[in-house]
Amino acid sequence: MDRMLYLAMTGAQQAMVAQSVNSNNLANVSTTGFKSDLEQFRSMPVYGSGLPSRVYALTERPATDVTAGAIQTTGRSLDVAVDGEGWLAVQSRDGSEAYTRAGDLRIEASGMLLTGAGLPVIGNSGAPIVIPPAESVEIGVDGTISIRPLGQTATVLAEVDRIKLVNPPVDQLTKGKDGLIRVKQMDAVEPDATVKLVSGALEGSNVNTVEAMVKMIELQRQYEMQVKMMKTASDNDAALSSIMKLA
């Protein structure tokens, strides 16, 4: 009975893990540039001093869905969306270089260009971008940031910096707990001139709400089935104990 009980227990536990991944996707259905996490179940043999006679369930996150979300026009000059493949380079909380598709940019009081999450945007030089006081700021399709200096006419533009745009191989990408994308086997990626931006627009989340809701119901039913199996194992064990007492 213990085999049945523990197998059902691991199944229920891993169904809850998968449900947490799916719930996180649903919670970020409106998050700019969010990339949904994939999950799958796998059979995991239990190795020890004896033969591996038991196989438990395991939920793993094999990859992140990096397909593009829908682009929505905002008309805001500091909003940018990556057109096709590619990523914006940002400085993560630990100071390392990371990548995102969230282009809801803003300028803080010191002039540093930040994402909506408060992360510094990195320029082609590898340093965070700082924008001097200006009448207006424009971001070109190649990531070039141009300003109209204070007191100047609309015909006077000065190039300040260029947003670092990269396009590393998809199979080298991994998503961290902070939601940022990193490259597995290198610290930083060289800028890619082929990556283009759409100004005045934002990329939405790539979570499919209907699919995520259906998955939530499916995982809930799997969890309930495993709990029923645990109850059945408990009932069988009680019945067997009663029979042994009669003997």
For residues 48 and 77, state if they share a domain.
no
Same domain, residue pair 95 and 150: yes
**pLDDT number for residue 247:** 57
Local mean pLDDT, 10-residue blocks, the chain (247 residues): 75 89 94 91 77 76 88 95 96 94 95 96 94 92 93 83 95 90 82 95 96 94 90 78 71
- Do residues 195 and 149 share a domain? yes
Q: Are residues 84 and 179 in the same domain?
A: yes
Instruction: Tell me: do 96 and 45 sit in the same domain.
Output: no
Residue type, 33: G
Instruction: Identify whether residues 194 and 217 lie together within a single domain.
Output: no
Q: What is the pLDDT of residue 246?
A: 67
pLDDT at 186: 66
Residues 222 and 195 in one domain: no
What is the pLDDT at residue 198?
Answer: 96
Domain boundary among 203, 219, 234: 203
Residues 151 and 227 occupy one common structural domain: no
Integer angstrom CA distances of residue 52 from 44, 49, 140, 230, 235:
10, 9, 60, 22, 27
Q: For the chain, what is the domain count?
A: 2
8 and 23 both lie in a single domain: yes
Rounded Cα distance, 138 and 145, in Å: 6
Domain hosting 47: range is 2-65+207-246
- The pLDDT, as a whole number, for residue 240 is 73
The answer on 136 and 124 residing in a single domain is yes
**Nearest one of 171, 166, 172 to 190, comparing CA atoms:** 166
Do residues 143 and 163 lie in contact, with contact meaning Cβ atoms separated by under 8 Å? yes
Q: Is the pTM of this model over 0.85?
A: no
Is 107 found in the same domain as 180? yes
Q: What is the pLDDT of residue 2?
A: 65
Do 38 and 92 lie in a common domain? no
